[in-house]
Structure 1
Amino acid sequence: MPPPKSAAMQRRTWLAAFAAALWLATPAVSSCHAANVPIHASQAVFLSDCQKAWGTTIPGWSQGASCSAAEGLTCAPSGMITAIRMDSANISGAIPDSISSLTALTWLDLEFNQLVGSIPLGVGNLPALEYLALTSNQIIGPIPAGIGNLPNLKELYLGGNQLSGPIPDGFGNLTNLVTLSLASNLLTGSIPNSITSLNQLNYLYLAFNLLSGSIPNSITSLNQLTSLDLSKNQLMGPIPAGIGNLTNLGELSLASNLLTGSIPNSITSLNQLAILDLGYNSLTGSIPNSITSLTLLSDLYEAYCVLLGNQLSGPIPAGIGILTNLAALNLYGNQLSGSIPAGIGSLAWLTNLRLGRNQLTGSIPAGISSFTNLDSLGFEENQLSGSIPAEIGSLSNLTALSFCPNQLTGSIPAAISNLTRLQFLRIESCQVSGSIPAAIGSLKSLQWMYLGGIQLNGSIPSTIGSLAGTLGLMDLSNSSLTGSLPDSITLLIRLSQLSVARNQLIGNIPYGIGNLYKLSSLDLSSNMFTDSIPSSILSLTQLVSLNLGGNPLNGSIPASLDSMVMLENLNLSGSHLKGSIPTTLGNMGSLKSLYMNDNQLTGSIPGFNNTMNLTELVLSGNQLSGLIPPSITFCKQLQRLWLDNNSLSGILPKLLGIMTQLTSLRINDTSLSGTLPTFLGSFSSLDSLNISGTNLTCPPDYIACGPTQSPKTAFCRTCPSFCSTCGKPSPGSATSNSSPSSTESSSPAASGGGGVSVGVIIGIAVAAGVILLLLIAAGAILLYFRHKMEQKKTSLETSLAAAHCTEFSLAEVLKATNNWSEDNQLGSGAFGDVYKGVSPRDGTTVWAVKRAKLIDVDFQREILQMADKNHPNIVRLLGFAVGGDVRSKIEQILIYEFVSNGDLHKWIDRDASNPLSFKQRLDILIGIARGFEYLHSFDIVHRDIKPANILITADMQAKIADFGLVRAGEGTTVGATRVMGTPGYLDPVYSRTSLATSASDVYSFGVLMLVVLTGEAPIVESAGETRQITSWAFECVTLGDLGSLTDSKIEAPGDAVLRVTQLAISCTVERTASRPSMAHIANELKAIRDEVAGKDELSAAKKVDAQVQEMKEAFGDVDAFEESLKMIGESFSNENHV
C-alpha cells in the first residue's frame, strides 16, 4: 500500500510557512536610514569574490554602489552589510572565505541554491550573526567548530547538504539558539551532551543522518522544546524515561532508528503532543492505555517495518476512540492481538487507518462506514474473519484499500464500484470467492489491482478495458478464472506488470498484447493458451520478465528475442515448443535466468558469448545434441546449470573451472563422456551434482584433492572413492614391515652355513620396496603435472581461439627476453614483472612481456577480457604463453605491444627537463579518459590507475597498461577478492567495501588529473602536514590560489586550470553515484582543450598583427618591409612547431 501523507511533513510545511512569514515581517536593518548609502569599501572584496566564485554578475554588488540598488543586501548607515538574502537565487559555486570581513552581518540566507565546497571557517568570525541558513545546497565537509562561538545566533539551518563528521561539541555555547536544523546530511557520532545547554531551544531537527549511540537522558531538560525530530538515524537503546518532562512538545519523531525497550509511560504527560512518530524501531511491550489521554494527537505512528521486526504486543487500547482529533492511526507490522475496538468508529477525522501485519482477530467493525474522510485503509495480513462489509462502498474518499491476506470469506462487494477515487486495491490470498464484478470498470482512478490467490471464477470482464487511462499493475494469478483473455485487455497501455498465471484461461495469446509497450513483467504461465507465440510480443522492448511456461503452445521460439534488450528473466518451459534455440539469445546481455526445459527443442546449444549476467540456465528435457559450447564458461555468474535429459555428447569444457559460483549442475541422462574435472571438488558452493546415466567417470585416485574438498561437497558425494584417498598413498604402494620372528625357516639356508642371511634378504626386500614406492610417487607427480599442464593449455586454447589471441611457446618467450635477462627488464608492477623482447618469429616486432603473478582465474580473465579489445588508448594484447617443467613453477605469460616513450610519470615530474605543455597534458588526459570510457562500456574495471600505468607513445599519445581487471556485475559492482591499487590514488569507498566499480576508476582518474596538472605527488606536503592532493587542490581553489595548481614551467589559462581542477574534484566526491562518467569527463576535457587551442590561435594572430604594424611603421621601403614580414612568418612557424 502506498505510504500515507505524513502529518509530520504537513507540520514542517506550516513551520516553514511561518518562518517565511517571519522573514517577510523582519524589517531590513536600518533600511530606512541606509537606502542610498554606498556599500562600505571593506565589503567590496567579498562581493567581488562571490561573483567570481559563482560565475555570475549580481546587480549592485560592487564597491561604491548604493546599497538600495544591491540585490539581496541590507546595509547599516555606515554602509556595512547587515543582511544577505539570496535564497533560491540559482547560485552555484563556493562561499568565499572573505565572508569573515562582514563583521556587521546579522542575517545570512543562501538556502535552496547549488552551493558547493565547505562552510568557510570565517563564518565563525561573524559575532553579530543571528540567522544562518544554508539549507538545500551541495555543501560538504565538517561543520566548522567556530560556529559555536557565535553568541547571538538564534536560528541555524544547515539541512539538506552533504555535511559529515560529528556535531561540534561547542554548539552548547549557543545559548540564544531557538532553532537548530541539521537534518538530511551525513553527520556521524553521538548527539553531544553539550546540546542540553541550549535552554532556549524550540526546534531540534537532526533527522536523516548517521548519528549513533543513545538519546542523551539530559535532552529531557530542554523544556522549551516544541518539536524534536531524531528520525532516520542509527540511535539505539531505550527512549529516555524522562521524555515526559518535555511538556511543551507538539511533535516527537524518533522513527527509523534502532530503539528498543517499551514506550515509557511518561509519554502520556505530553499533553500538547499533536504528532507522535515512533515507527521503524524495535520497541516491545504493549501500547500504554494511558496514551488515550493525549487528546490533541492528530497523527499516531507506532508501527515498525517488518524487516526490522517490531514487537509491540497486546491489544489496541480500548479507549482509542477518545482521540477524536486523530487523523492517522498506523499500527502496521507489530504483534498486536485481540479484536479491533468498536470505539474506533468514533474517529471520524481519520484519513489513514493501517492495522495490517498483526495478529488481530474477529471481524471488521460495522462502524467502518463513519470513516467518511478516510483516504487509506489497510487490514491485511491478520487473522480477521467474516466478510468484506458492503458499507465499504460509502467511503468515497478512499484511494488505497487492502483487506487480504486474512480469513475473510464471501464475495467482492459490488458497492466497491462506488470508490471512484480508489488507486490501490488489494484483496488477495484469502477465501473470498465469486466473480470479478463487471462494475470494476467504474474505478477509473485505479492504478494497482491485486486480486490474486483468491477463489475467483468465471471470466475476466471486458469492462476491464475501461481502466486504460490509469491501470499500471494487474495481478489475477492463482485463481480459477476461465474463458479467454478479453481483447479489451490490450487497451491497458499503461500496464507495467500483468499476471494471469495459474488459472484455466484458454485460446490464443492476443496479438494486441504488443500494444502494452510499457510492460516490464508479463506472466501468462500455467494456463491452457494454444497456438504460437505472437510475433507482436517482440515489440515489448521494456520487458524485464517474461513467463509463458506451462502452456500447450506450439511452433518455435521467435528468432528476434534479442530485441527485448532489457529482458532479465525468460521462462518458456513446458510449452511444447519445437525447432532450435535461436543463436540471438547469446546476445542478450541483460539475461539472468533462462528456462526452456521440457520442450521438444532440437539442434545444438548456441553460444553464450555476451550473457555475462546469466545465473540460471535450464535446458533439461529436450532433444538437444552436439557439444556443450565452450562459450558457456563466459557465464561466470552461473549458479544453476541444468542440461540433463538431452542427447549431448563430448566432454565438459575445461574452462568450466572458472565458474566457481555453481550451486547445481545436472548433466545426467546425456551421452557426455570423459573424466569428471577435479576442479569441481573445489567449488564450495556446489551442493547438487548429477552425472547418472552418462559415460562420465570419476578422476583417478592418484590425483591429489584440492585444498577445499571435503566429503560434504557434491563432488565428493559423487566420487566418494576419489575423496577418501585424498592425501593417502595409492592402493598397492604400502610397505610391509616383517620382523625376523615372523619370517623364520627350517631350511639350511635359513639357519646359517654358507647361505644368505635372513637380515640381508629383509634389507634387500625393504630397499626394493622403498625404491618401488619412490618410482610410483615420481610417476604420479609427473602424471599429475602433465595433467595440470594439459588442462591449462586445453582450457586456454578452447577459449582463446575465438578471441584471435596468438599462443607462443615458452622457448620463444625465453629467446625474446634473453632468458629473462635483467638488461631486458623494464619494471615490476602489481600484477607481474615486465621485460622487453623482440619476436623471434619476425625479428622486428618489439614486445612488452609480462611474467604474470596472477592465479589461474585472473590470468584467464585478463586474456579473455583483453584479447579482442582494440582501442588507440589501450595497450594491445598480442598473445600469451603457458609453460614449465617438473622442476619449475608453471609460467603464465602475457605479451603486449611495446610502447617506446616510457610511462607518464617521467613526463609530468616537476624536475623533468622537457615538461609537457598544458595542451599536451590535456590531450593525454583526454586519451586516457577515452580509453577508460571504452573499458567501462564492457563493464571492465582497472583498479590501479596511476602515472606508472599510463604509457606514452612516440607521438605523445597515452595508452593504458598493467591491468588488474575485474568485470563489474549487474553493470555496477563486482566483489573483488583483493583490494588492488596504489595509496593516494585508491578510492576510499572501494578500500572499505572491496567492491570495484567504474566509479572507483573515476576516483583514481580524478587524482591522476590533479597529478598531471600540478606535477605533484598524490600525497603532498602542505603547511608542514601531509595531505591528499584532492583536499590541497580544493583549498587552492577556495583561496583563489590557481597559480599553485600548475607546474611553474608551463603557461596555462587560469579559467581552464580552474575548470580542470573542479572536474577532478567532482571525480573524488564520497558519494559514488555523484561522480561523473568517463564519457562525461572526456567530453569536458575536450571542450576545455578546444577552448584553450582557440585562445592560443587568437593570441598568435594578434601577435603577428602587432609585429606587422610595427614593421610598417619602421620600414618606409616596401621591399624591406616584405622581407622582414617573411622573417616573422618563418619565426612564427618555427615557434609553433616547437
Structure 2
Amino acid sequence: MLNDVVSLSFFFIFLAVSMTAAAGQNPTFNDDVLGLIVFKSGLHDPLSKLSSWNSEDLDPCNWLGCICDPSTNRVTELRLDGFSLSGHIGRGLLRLNFLHTLLLSNNNLTGTLNPEFPHLGSLQVLDFSGNNLSGRIPDAFFQQCGSLRSVSFANNKLTGSLPVSLSYCSTLTHLNLSTNQLSGRFPRELWFLKSLTSLDLSDNFLQGELPDGVGGLYDLREIDFSKNWFSGHVPSDLGKCSSLKSLDFSENYFSGNLPGSMQTLSSCNSIRLRGNSLVGEIPDWIGEIATLETLDLSGNNFSGNVPFSLGNLEFLKELNLSANMLVGEIPETISNCSNLVSIDVSKNSFTGDVLKWMFNGNSESSSLLSRYSLDKRSGNDSVLSIVGFLQGLRVLDLSSNGFSGEIPSNIYVLRSLVQLNMSTNSLFGSIPSGIGGLKLAEILDLSSNLLNGTVPSEIGGALSLKQLNLQRNRISGQIPSQISNCSALKAIDLSDNELSGGIPGSIGSLSNLEYMDLSRNKLSGSLPKEMEKLSHLVTFNISHNSITGELPAGGFFNTIPLSAVDGNPSLCGSVVNRSCLSFHPKPIVLNPNSSNPANGPAQNSQIRKSVLSISALIAIGAAAFIAIGVVAVTLLNVHARSSVSRQDAAAAAAALAMSVGETFSCSPSKDQEFGKLVMFSGEADVFDTTGANALLNKDCELGRGGFGVVYRTNLHDGRPVAVKKLTVAGLIKSQEEFEREMRKLGKLRHRNVVEIKGYYWTHSLQLLIHEFVSGGSLHRHLHGDESICLTWRQRFSIILGIARGLAYLHSSNITHYNLKATNVLIDATGEAKVSDFGLARLLASALDRCVLSGKVQSALGYTAPEFACRTVKITDKCDVYGFGILVLEVVTGKRPVEYAEDDVVVLCETVREGLEEGRVEECVDGRLRGNFPAEEAIPVIKLGLVCGSQVPSNRPDMEEVVKILELIQCPSHDLE
C-alpha cells in the first residue's frame, strides 16, 4: 500500500516536471492538461473512453468529453456522463479554472463530495447524478457557490441533513437531490432561493412539517417532495407560486385539508398528492386550475361528492380518485374533459348508472353517439373525430363501488381502451356485442356483478385481450368458439355462472393460456382433445359441471387434482378413478429442477433414490458446516459480550428511563455509557422505568434468534412493543452505518412486514424496537404444542401474505437473507408479517459469508445452495428459495429437514417425489383430513418446488409469485 502511494507521488512529480518543461518550450500550454491527466489517474475506464487523453498534448481541446473556448483553448465544459467510469472524483479538476459545466452523471463513481468544487469561480452546472457517492453533503460545499445555476446529486447514497449553506446560492435555478438517504427536517432558509425553477427532494428520509415560505419562489415551476416522511399540513402559501407547473407531494404523511391558496395555481399542469392522509371534500375551486392535465388524489381520506367543476378541466388527461371515501354519482360534466386518457375512481362508494356521466353528460355527444350507432354499418366513422372524450381513453377503472345499470351497447366507441375494469359493482343486463369493438383492450374485468345473457360471439374481435374476467355473474348460453381469436389470452375466468353446452375445441389454440376457470357452471359434453396443446397451463378448473367422457392425456392434464374436475359424475380417467374404454398410463411430469423425460420408470426410481441419498449427505454436511460456523461466531461473541456487563445494561435502562423524565434508582458508575434513543414516530416519552427494566427480566423474554434476544415491554401509554437486544452488538462498529440502515428500515410500511418503530445505540449495546405481534411465530403455529390446526384458508392467506411482504422488501432493495418459519409472525387477525429483516446486511461487513450463512440460516433446510459457493453472487433469489421451502412447510405441516432413525428426510425431495408419482395430495398436512381445495393446494405445491429450485435463475421473482398466487386463489366461499 505504501509503495503504491510513493509510486503515485513520483508519477505526479514526474508529470508536473514534464508539464513545466513543456510549458517552457511552448507558451500555448495550459494547466487543464495536467489537471485532467491527474483526474484520469484516479479513475477506472473499462470502455477506454478516455484513451484520447494524452499527457503530451498542449491542450485537451480534442479529447473526448472536453469542450474548449476556441479563443483561449481552455476547457469550459467537461461532459463524461455515461462513460462507465469508476473511482473517486480527484482534485485534479480544481485546475480547470475556466470550467462552467461539469457532467459526471451515470457512472460508478464512489467516495465523498469534495467541498472545494463549487469554489471554481465560473462553475455553473454540476451534475454527479447516477453514481455511488456516499457520506454527508459538506456544509462548506455551498458556502462559496459562486455562479452555480444547476446542481444534481440524484441517485446516489448521500446521507445526513440538507445543508443550510444551500441558501447562499442565490443564482441556483435547478436543485435535484432525489433518491438518496438524506434525513432530518427541511431548512426554512431554502425558501430564500428566489431563483429556483425546479426543486426535487423525492425519495429520501426527510421528515417533519414543511414551513410556510414556499410562496416566495415566484419562478418555481416544478417541486417534487414525494416518497419522504413529511407530515403536517400542506404549506398554506403554496398557491403563491404562480409559475408552478408540476406539484408532487405523493407518499408522505400530509394531513388536513387542501389549502385554499392552491386555487390560484393557474399555470399548473400536474398535481399528485396520492398516498397521504388528506381529508375533507375535494374543493370546488379545483376546476379553476384550467391548465391541469394530471390530478391524482388517490389513497387519501377525501369524502363527499366529486365537484361538478371538474368538467372545466378540458385539458385533463389523467384523473385518479381511487381509494378514498367518495360518494354519490360521477358528475356528468366530466364528459367535457375531452382529452382524458386514464380514469380511476375504484375503491370508493360511488353509485348511480355506471356510464351515464360518460354517454349522456353532453347532449351533443349523446346525439352523435346515437347517430354513430345507426351509421356504423355504412362505415361512417367520421363522427368519432368529434367525440374526443371517448376516443383517447385508455384506462377506465370503476371497480369496487356501488354502480348499477347496464353496460351501454355502444361501448365500442371507447376504441382506445387498454384496460376496462367494472368489477364488484351491481351492473345488470347482458354483455353488449359492441364489446368486441375494443380491439386494443388487454384487460376486461366485469366480474362480481349481476350480468345475465350470453357471452357475445363478437368477443373474438378484442384481438389484444390478455385477461378476461366474467366470474360471479348470471351469464348463460355457450362459450363462443370465436374466443380463440384472442390469441394473446393468458387468463380466462368464467366461473360461477350458468354457462351450458360444450367447451369449444378452438380454445386449444390459445397457446399462451396459463389460467382457466370454468367451474360452477352447467357445461356438458367431453373435453376436446385440442386442449392437450395448452402447454403453459398452471391452473385449470372445470369442477361442478356436467362434463362427460375421458380426460385428455398428456401435459398438464396428468397432474390435475381431483378437486379441479370434481362434480362431473360422467367424467372418466385415472384422476377421477373411473375406467374408460381406453386407458392411457400417466407419465411422470413437472420436475421443477428438470429431469430427463426419456428415462424409464426404473431409472427414474433409481435417480430419486440417488437424489435423496445425496440430499441426506448435503444435509449432514451442511449441519457440520454450520456447527463450525456457530463455534466461530461464539468465539466472536465472547469478545462482544465481554463489554456488555451489568453496568452497561443498567446504563441502557437508565437512558431509556431518562427519556420519560423518570428517576432511575441505580447509581451508574462515572464511566457509564449513555446511549441515543430514536423513535421514528417522533414520540419523546417511550419507555417508563418498569418497561426499561423489563429488558433485564427473563420473564418478559419472547424468544431468542441468531442475532439477539427479543423481549416484550410497553410504551408510556401502555401499548406493547417488542425489543430485540442484539447479541452481536460488539461487531457493529459504525454508528453512522447502523443509524443509516435503521432509518431505511424504519421507513418501511406494509401490512405484511413488521414495522420498525425505533432503535437505541451505544457502542456496546444496540436495541431494535418494533411492533409487537400477538400471535407469535409461524413455527409455533405449525410445530408448537397448540391443539388448533390451521385451516387451508388460513394457510393460503399466510403464504400469500409472506409473498406480498417479501415482494415489498425486494421492491425496496432489501434482501432478507434469513427467511424461515420463526421469522414470520402471525397477528391477531391471522395476517402474516415478515420480521427480522435487514440485520444480515448490517452485519455483512463484520462476518464473512461462511460465518454469516451459519448465523443467518441457522434453521437447516432454508439455505439456498449458492450460500455454499463463494463465487456465486447472493441475490434476492436466495429469499425466493427460502420462501419455496416455507411454502412446502406450511402446506405439509412438516419441517424442512427431519431425522429418522437411519435416514435424513428432506421435505423438498419428498414432495417432489410425491408429485412425480401422482400422489401429491397425500403430501398435504394430514390434519386437514382432505378438507382442502386440491385445485389450490397442488398449484401451490408446484410453485413451492419451482421457487426451491437449485438454480437461482430458475426461481421466479417475488412479484411474479404474488401474481401467480392471486390467480391460483379460489373464491373465498369455496372452503374456509
Deviation (angstroms), 1:311: 1.9
Q: 2:407 aligns with which of 405, 412, 415?
A: 412
Read off the aligned partner of 1:332 and give its amino acid letter. S
> Partner residue of 2:836?
994
Superposed CA offset, 1:39-61 (max 9, x none): 64422433532664444143642
> Partner residue of 1:69?
62
The 1-side partners of 2:634 and 2:97 are apart by 63
Superposed CA offset, 1:758-791 (max 9, x none): xxxxxxxxxxxxxxxxxxxxxxxxxxxxxxxxxx
Moved more, 541-550 or 522-531: 541-550
Deviation (angstroms), 1:229: 1.5
The 1-side partners of 2:578 and 2:191 are apart by 70
> Partner residue of 1:83?
77
Asked if structure 2 preserves the Cα contact closer than 8 Å seen for 1:97 and 1:122, the reply is: no
Counterpart of 1:147 in 2: which secondary structure? helix
1:48-447 → structure 2 map (5 Å cutoff): 48-49=40-41, 52-58=44-50, 60-65=52-57, 66-75=59-68, 80-87=74-81, 89-104=82-97, 106-110=99-103, 113-121=106-114, 124=117, 126-128=119-121, 129-137=123-131, 139=133, 142-152=136-146, 153-295=148-290, 297-299=291-293, 301=295, 303-305=297-299, 310-324=300-314, 326-341=316-331, 343-344=333-334, 346-348=336-338, 350-361=340-351, 364-365=356-357, 366-368=360-362, 395-402=390-397, 411-447=406-442
1:448-463 → structure 2 map (5 Å cutoff): 448-463=443-458
Per the alignment, do residues 100 and 564 of structure 1 end up closer, same or farther by CA in structure 2, a change over 3 Å counting?
farther
The 2-side partners of 1:353 and 1:370 are apart by 22
The 2-side partners of 1:546 and 1:335 are apart by 37
Deviation (angstroms), 1:169: 4.0
Deviation (angstroms), 1:455: 4.1
Are positions 1:523 and 2:531 aligned together?
no
Superposed CA offset, 1:871-906 (max 9, x none): xxxxxxxxxxxxxxxxxxxxxxxxxxxxxxxxxxxx
> Partner residue of 2:539?
545
Superposed CA offset, 1:117-159 (max 9, x none): 3455366465332211133455555545553345122211222
Per the alignment, do residues 521 and 1066 of structure 1 end up closer, same or farther by CA in structure 2, a change over 3 Å counting?
closer
Asked if structure 2 preserves the Cα contact closer than 8 Å seen for 1:43 and 1:81, the reply is: no
The 2-side partners of 1:51 and 1:832 are apart by 41
Q: 2:819 aligns with which of 964, 972, 975?
A: 975
Asked if structure 1 preserves the Cα contact closer than 8 Å seen for 2:524 and 2:546, the reply is: yes
The 2-side partners of 1:117 and 1:570 are apart by 57
Per the alignment, do residues 445 and 339 of structure 1 end up closer, same or farther by CA in structure 2, a change over 3 Å counting?
closer
Read off the aligned partner of 2:836 and give its amino acid letter. S
> Partner residue of 2:496?
502
Asked if structure 2 preserves the Cα contact closer than 8 Å seen for 1:134 and 1:159, the reply is: yes
Percent of pairs with identical residues:
25
The 1-side partners of 2:461 and 2:451 are apart by 20
Asked if structure 1 preserves the Cα contact closer than 8 Å seen for 2:474 and 2:498, the reply is: yes
Read off the aligned partner of 1:266 and give its amino acid letter. S
> Partner residue of 2:467?
473
1:7-22 → structure 2 map (5 Å cutoff): none
Deviation (angstroms), 1:522: 1.4
Asked if structure 2 preserves the Cα contact closer than 8 Å seen for 1:314 and 1:337, the reply is: yes
Per the alignment, do residues 828 and 463 of structure 1 end up closer, same or farther by CA in structure 2, a change over 3 Å counting?
closer
Listed as ranges, the gaps of 5+ residues in structure 2 are: 1-25, 369-383, 581-586, 594-610, 621-626, 636-782, 784-798, 807-814, 824-833, 853-869, 881-948, 954-976
Per the alignment, do residues 73 and 1064 of structure 1 end up closer, same or farther by CA in structure 2, a change over 3 Å counting?
farther
Per the alignment, do residues 248 and 1071 of structure 1 end up closer, same or farther by CA in structure 2, a change over 3 Å counting?
farther
Deviation (angstroms), 1:335: 2.7
Deviation (angstroms), 1:228: 1.6
Read off the aligned partner of 2:544 and give its amino acid letter. G
User: TM-score, length-normalised on structure 1?
Assistant: 0.45
Deviation (angstroms), 1:371: 7.5
Asked if structure 1 preserves the Cα contact closer than 8 Å seen for 2:280 and 2:303, the reply is: yes
Listed as ranges, the gaps of 5+ residues in structure 1 are: 1-33, 375-389, 583-595, 601-605, 613-798, 809-824, 834-965, 980-991, 1012-1062, 1082-1138
Asked if structure 2 preserves the Cα contact closer than 8 Å seen for 1:37 and 1:67, the reply is: no
Q: 1:42 aligns with which of 34, 38, 45?
A: 34
Deviation (angstroms), 1:280: 2.5
The 2-side partners of 1:311 and 1:495 are apart by 37
The 1-side partners of 2:516 and 2:135 are apart by 47
Per the alignment, do residues 67 and 36 of structure 1 end up closer, same or farther by CA in structure 2, a change over 3 Å counting?
farther
> Partner residue of 1:896?
none
Asked if structure 2 preserves the Cα contact closer than 8 Å seen for 1:350 and 1:371, the reply is: no
> Partner residue of 2:828?
none
The 1-side partners of 2:618 and 2:297 are apart by 64
1:722-733 → structure 2 map (5 Å cutoff): none
Counterpart of 1:395 in 2: which secondary structure? helix
Q: 1:829 aligns with which of 631, 638, 644?
A: 631
Deviation (angstroms), 1:272: 4.1
Question: Which has the higher relative contact order, 1 or 2, with Cα contacts under 8 A spaced 6 or more apart?
Answer: 2
The 1-side partners of 2:561 and 2:163 are apart by 48
Deviation (angstroms), 1:525: 1.0
The 2-side partners of 1:324 and 1:526 are apart by 46
The 2-side partners of 1:407 and 1:175 are apart by 54
User: TM-score, length-normalised on structure 2?
Assistant: 0.52
Superposed CA offset, 1:278-314 (max 9, x none): 232111122334444444x323525222xxxx22223
Asked if structure 1 preserves the Cα contact closer than 8 Å seen for 2:351 and 2:401, the reply is: no
Deviation (angstroms), 1:415: 1.9
For the aligned residue pairs, the C-alpha RMSD in angstroms reads: 5.5
The 2-side partners of 1:36 and 1:463 are apart by 79
The 1-side partners of 2:183 and 2:546 are apart by 59
Asked if structure 1 preserves the Cα contact closer than 8 Å seen for 2:336 and 2:362, the reply is: no
Q: 2:507 aligns with which of 507, 513, 516?
A: 513
Per the alignment, do residues 826 and 167 of structure 1 end up closer, same or farther by CA in structure 2, a change over 3 Å counting?
closer
Deviation (angstroms), 1:800: 9.6
Deviation (angstroms), 1:450: 1.9
Deviation (angstroms), 1:1004: 7.2
Read off the aligned partner of 1:43 and give its amino acid letter. G
The 1-side partners of 2:135 and 2:879 are apart by 16
How many residues in Structure 1 have an aligned counterpart in Structure 2? Answer: 608
Q: 1:492 aligns with which of 463, 476, 486?
A: 486
